[in-house]
Structure 1
Amino acid sequence: MGDSTRDIEDVAALVAEVEQQERELVLTRFTHDDAWQLGCLLVELAAERGLGVTVDVRKGPQQVFHAAREGTSPDNDSWVARKVRVVERFGASSYLTGLRARAKGKDFNTKHQLPLQEYAAHGGAFPVRVEGVGIVGVVTVSGLAQADDHALVVEALRIHDAGSA
């Protein structure tokens, strides 16, 4: 089996895993207070681990929480905005959207004819879904490798969801 076949299989497995995360991580509600608590939780996790990340939580188009830890720069704010646009346009996490393009052997921006300076299908932005409503916001982390940005958001959403159940 060649490297490219293995890579496609690995990407397909990742696509399935992230699709499952999106099906599982559906909240019963998402208020401004929930957005704030989720943002604070992400900052606490990052601080405990010494991670330099920017955290952004939006409810609808409104930015409810934004924090930049030591080691970040304005470039991370740009990454956040670009990842959020992907979630808002495609209704899926920025990681999943990028993986789906990769699974088809395509470059996301070229495939969708979207400018690189406005859209980044890299891990870290995750749709906030509420049961019976759909997507009501976006939670984003920027500063780590894309799989790690995504994993941190998923971890925080799981903890937040368990705490509000």
Structure 2
Amino acid sequence: MTTRPLREAPRDLPSIIKLEDSLKLTHFTADDAFSLGLNIRQRLRALSSNSAVVSISHANSQNLLFHATSRPGVQPDNDIWVARKRKTVHRWGVSTWFMSNKFKGDEAEFARKYALGTGPEAGSYAIHGGGVPVRVKGVEGIVAVVVVSGLKQEEDHMVVVEALEEFVRQEGGLDKKRSVEGEDPVVLDA
């Protein structure tokens, strides 16, 4: 497995959308989710001695397809962040990194824009990187949500993006020129 650092996450909205659009899969099954989850977990272990959570769920339900920690030491708070990131991706259909950059990390402005108020509803969403939609070509909307929580938000985001790039490339559908900065996506061993 490669241990090179993650690429820098794009911060401008058009680049984020372009990157997310390049991650459309030809299929996504429970077996695919398991394989993707294992690859992300391995990459998290190679990247950091910190503990993180990786969670993959269906978009049309809360059914978990994969949920694991990278190392011992995860706190209950990590699962709260996972739920908040997942809920954001479900509602808006874009990554939490996109939402973070759209609102420049301003949670109050985010809550105001979407009339979330200041009560519990406002706190049930997170605009911190790490929640990424899974799309399948020819299917409208998202089919699953991948969430990582435990590292810096841009790292949470990019570990998912790079794993999805590898998944797409293994399917034979990723044009290497479409990846950020023209670099080859990271190769993860199964």
Where on the TM-score scale, by shorter chain, does this alignment land: which range?
0.7 to 0.9
Equivalent residue number for residue 171 of structure 2: 164
- Match of residue 30 from structure 2: 32
CA RMSD after TM alignment: 2.1
2:68 aligned residue? 67
Gaps of 5+ in 2: 1-9, 173-190
Letter in 2 for 1:130: V
Moved more, 31-40 or 16-25: 16-25
Q: CA deviation at 1:58?
A: 1.0
Quote how far apart the aligned CAs of 1:105 are.
10
Q: Secondary structure at the match of 2:103?
A: helix
Alpha-carbon distance, 1:84 to partner: 0.6
Q: Cα deviations across residues 116-137 of structure 1 (Å, max 9, x unaligned)?
A: 4210011000000000103100
Which amino acid in the other structure matches residue 39 of structure 1? Answer: G
Q: Unaligned regions of 5+ residues in structure 1, if any?
A: 1-11
Q: Once the two structures are aligned, what percentage of the paired residues are identical?
A: 39
In the alignment, is the contact (CA less than 8 A) between 1:55 and 1:140 conserved in 2? yes
Q: Which residue of 1 aligns with 2:51?
A: 52
Q: Which residue of 2 aligns with 1:146?
A: 153
More strand as a share of residues: 1
Q: TM-score, normalised by structure 1?
A: 0.85
Q: Distance in 2 between matches of 1:20 and 1:158?
A: 13
Change (3 A) 1:82 1:27: same
Give the conservation status (yes or no) of the 8 Å contact 1:55–1:141.
Answer: yes
- The higher relative CO (CA closer than 8 Å, separation ≥ 6) is in 2
